[in-house]
Amino acid sequence: MDIVKGNMGWIEVVVGPMFSGKSEELIRRLRRAEIARQRVQIFKPAIDSRYTANEIVSHSGLGIPSDNVSKASEILEKLQARTEVVGIDEAQFLGDEVVEVCTKLANLGKRVIVAGLDTDYRGRPICVRCGNPAVHTQRLVDSEELIVVGATEMYEARCRRCFEPNPAQARKEAGPVIVARSRGAASGGA
């Protein structure tokens, strides 16, 4: 195996359901980085105050100090220049922006270790349209709100191909739909 020297960053993702050891694995990797004398910064969503306010804590009681953020972009604002490893727990609470933030961090040469849930509470990672692995939650109702509480009548799991990022906005931008009919079809095909 060749070792690449320099400012090459990467992203490590730890996913799974609740109680699967995600936070414990995140803590283990971050502790190893600290043992290796790497500069580590750790973040968690401010909304997650289950055990303590300023610490990531696993269900088994293992903990490590962390900074709270309300949104993913705050990680970039709080990042110290000399940080080498960035840990992020409960990434699902930081929204889609966390993907862009992790990419920016890796592009800056940081090792990014992120943990979070990989399915909803029903465990549905399968696209309801075509059966492929689903990676997106499709909203089925028109709303510009970030959070809309609902169930199967409002959301469904979809793969990348079937996912429509913002169908309400797309319909608005497309304008009215004009249906043209030929005379032959209208008069019975004569």
Give the tens place of pLDDT for each residue, 80-135: 999 999 999 999 888 879 989 999 999 999 999 999 887 655 565 666 677 666 77
The pLDDT, as a whole number, for residue 88 is: 97
pLDDT at 26: 96
Weakest mean pLDDT among 6-10, 121-125, 183-187: 183-187
- Cα–Cα dist 116/8, whole Å: 24
Query: Does 3 reside within a domain?
Result: no
* 159 located within any domain: yes
pLDDT for the residue 129: 74
Regarding predicted confidence, which is higher, 22 or 49? Answer: 22
What are the two backbone dihedrals, phi and then psi, of residue 23, each rounded to the nearest 5 degrees? Answer: -65, -40
User: Could you give the C-alpha distances from 4 to 9, 32, 86, 113, in angstroms and in order?
Assistant: 11, 20, 19, 19
Cα separation, 143 vs 136, in Å, equals 17
Residue-level pLDDT at 14:
94
47-62: burial string, b at 16+ Cβ within 10 Å, e else: ebeeeeeeebbbeeee
Instruction: Supply the pLDDT for residue 141.
Output: 77
57 plus 110 within the same structural domain: yes
- The pLDDT, as a whole number, for residue 87 is 98
Q: Could you say which DSSP state residue 165 is in? A: S
180 compared with 88, residue with greater pLDDT: 88
| Residue 24, in any domain of the structure | yes
101 and 126 co-located in one domain = no
Residue 16 shares a structural domain with residue 110: yes
pLDDT at 12 > cutoff 70:
yes
CATH number for 151: 3.30.60.20
Backbone angles phi, psi at 36, to 5 degrees: -80, 10
Among 117, 85, 118, CA closest to 10: 85
* Domain CATH number, residue 54: 3.40.50.300
Q: What is the pLDDT of residues 140-175, one digit of tens each?
A: 877 777 666 655 667 777 878 888 877 655 555 555
Domain of 144, in residue numbers: 120-164
pLDDT digit string (tens) for 14-43?
Answer: 987 777 889 999 999 999 999 999 999 999
CA distance 106 to 90: 19
**How many structural domains does the chain have?**
2
- Report the range out of 38-42, 45-49, 50-54, 135-139 with the highest average pLDDT: 38-42
Note whether residue 174 is domain-resident.
no
User: Are 18 and 94 within one domain?
Assistant: yes
Catalytic residue list: 90
Let me know whether 113 and 125 are in one domain.
no
Whether residue 43 is found in the same domain as residue 112: yes
Integer Cα distance of 175 and 186 in angstroms? 25
Report how far apart the first and last C-alpha atoms of the chain are (Å, whole number). 74
